[in-house]
Amino acid sequence: MPHPNTNAIRIQTQRTDENEHSTPLFMTSSFRFDSAEDMRDAFNEVNDHNIYTRFSNPTVQEFTDKMCALEGAEAGFSCASGMAAIFGTFMTFLQSGDHILSCSSVFGSTHTLLTKYMPKWGIEYSYGEASDIDSWEALIKPNTKLIYLETPTNPGLDIVDMEKVGKLAKKHNIIFCVDNCFATPNLQRPIAFGADLVVHSATKWIDGQGRVLGGIVVGKKELVREIYLFCRNTGPSMAPFNAWVLTKSLETLDVRMERHSNNAEALAKKLEGHPKLNGVKYPFLPSHPAYEIAKKQMSRGGGLITFELKGGLNAGVTFMNALKMITLTSNLGDSRTIASHPASTTHSKLSEADQLAVGITPGLIRVSVGLEYIDDIAADILQALEQC
Ligand SMILES: *Cc1c(COP(=O)(O)O)cnc(C)c1O
């Protein structure tokens, strides 16, 4: 078996008669059959012919196969966005009366899904503390069907010990799902630590250039089969064009994540101890409270860092306005460095107490460190800090 990174470059749909080198784009909503019998067999799953792109498509399958190779997963299903993959996973395994155990700091839309929409269908949730896994067992109920977490978390960059959660899930026979968006499979492979399913927003590092939305869930074959059946009937499937963009992106994911990690680590070290900051957080800084766990489950620290301005909310706004090169945009995982100020934007509707509960202080800045030359990234941040 070639190395996963070789597979991410070399896995390709069967070459057409045109003998193309780069992968073709199968931009078609349906597929034709040679006979009524052939069509009947496809619908009865006697053969594996493609039927309709809501069910399957060769370009989408190529992206799925590469992601399975990278994550060490048996099977996968690609979705239109990260949220489509997360929602599809929840709805496949949860029904009225069930309970989901998650982590207090999850992605904003996932939090909304858990707190606002799931209760509508009679599904309850509990949140555990990322830093206190030992207290999670007490949160498990007889009706807990799913344990769902992110690590590192967004935007707090907390690290959750996946090995401990994996053991807990196995002991209680609960499906364990990890959102691996922040680390990517090149830096962290949750299945090796006991995850049954791994979800991604492919919109972020996997695309890596801020072009298309995408999502995927990979993991145990029998679980993915259930998700596939749910999704093929409800329609959150990935579009072939997006799959084509994303499958090409996977060819460079490993080199990109290495450079993103190099830049982010160098920036975090440069900013640590800066007089305008209360602190800098990065998984691979020894000052990170879960540095040892990060080292255990990640090969590099990834491309995101956070720091806290001493001047609070006002300093956050001043800092953002003072940036010259770095972009103010609500995305992450781009070749271009992006800064965000959660307290005045994504989390501004929460009370200060609720913000603190998910690790957001008024002066917290999150930087998605891009691929630009590191001295230029650092210079922009340092000159903006001077004005705070
Ligand atoms: C962006 C994001 C999502 C949602 O993905 P979309 O592709 O935007 O739907 C889920 N989880 C995390 C950690 C994210 O950053």
pLDDT in tens, 144-160: 999 999 999 988 899 99
**Gap from CA of 338 to ligand 1 centroid (Å):** 16
- What pLDDT is recorded for position 349? 78
Binding site membership of 181 for ligand 1 (Cβ less than 6 Å): yes
pLDDT of residue 330: 87
Residue 284 to residue 301: CA distance in whole angstroms: 5
Q: For residue 118, what is the DSSP state?
A: G
Instruction: Give residue 357's pLDDT band: very low, low, confident or very high (50, 70, 90).
Output: confident
The yes-or-no verdict on residue 216 having pLDDT over 90 is yes
**pLDDT for position 154:** 85
For ligand 1, the distance from its centroid to the CA atom of residue 83, given in whole angstroms, is 6
Task: Give the pLDDT band (50/70/90) at residue 358.
Answer: confident
CATH superfamily of 253-386: Aspartate Aminotransferase, domain 1 (3.90.1150.10)
Beta-carbon contacts of 344 under 8 Å, excluding residues fewer than 6 positions away, are 313, 316, 317, 320
- Percent of all residues in the chain with a pLDDT value above 70, rounded to a whole number: 100
Q: Is the CB of 179 under 6 A from ligand 1?
A: yes
- Reply yes or no on whether the pLDDT at 86 is more than 80: yes
Ligand 1 pocket residue status of 201, Cβ below 6 Å: yes
- Residue 201 pLDDT exceeds 90: yes
pTM for the predicted model, two decimal places = 0.96
* Rounded distance from Cα 47 to ligand 1 centre (Å): 35
Residue 360, pLDDT > 90, answer no
Give kind and range of the element (H or E) at residue 162. Answer: helix 162-171
Please work out whether the CB of residue 148 comes within 6 Å of at least one atom of ligand 1: no
359 lines ligand 1 (CB under 6 A): no
Sequence letter at residue 124: E
Query: What does the pLDDT read at residue 353?
Result: 83
Indicate the SS3 state at residue 39.
helix
Nearest CA to ligand 1 atom 4: 82
The response to whether residue 203 sits with its C-beta less than 6 Å from ligand 1 reads yes
189 lines ligand 1 (CB under 6 A): no
What's the whole-number average pLDDT of the chain? 96
Q: What pLDDT is attached to residue 335?
A: 98
What class has domain 4-252? alpha beta
pLDDT band at 131; cut points 50, 70, 90: confident
The domain limits of the chain are 4-252, 253-386
Q: Which residue has the higher pLDDT, 130 or 226?
A: 226
Separation between Cα atoms, residue 103 and residue 148, nearest integer Å = 7
Domains 4-252 and 253-386 share a fold: no
On the CB side of 85, CA atoms within 13 Å amount to 30
Displacement of CA 155 from its chain's centroid (Å): 12
Q: Would you state the structure tokens that stand for residue 376, as one six-digit string?
A: 């230029």
Work out whether strand 75-79 and strand 99-103 pair parallel, antiparallel, or are unpaired: unpaired
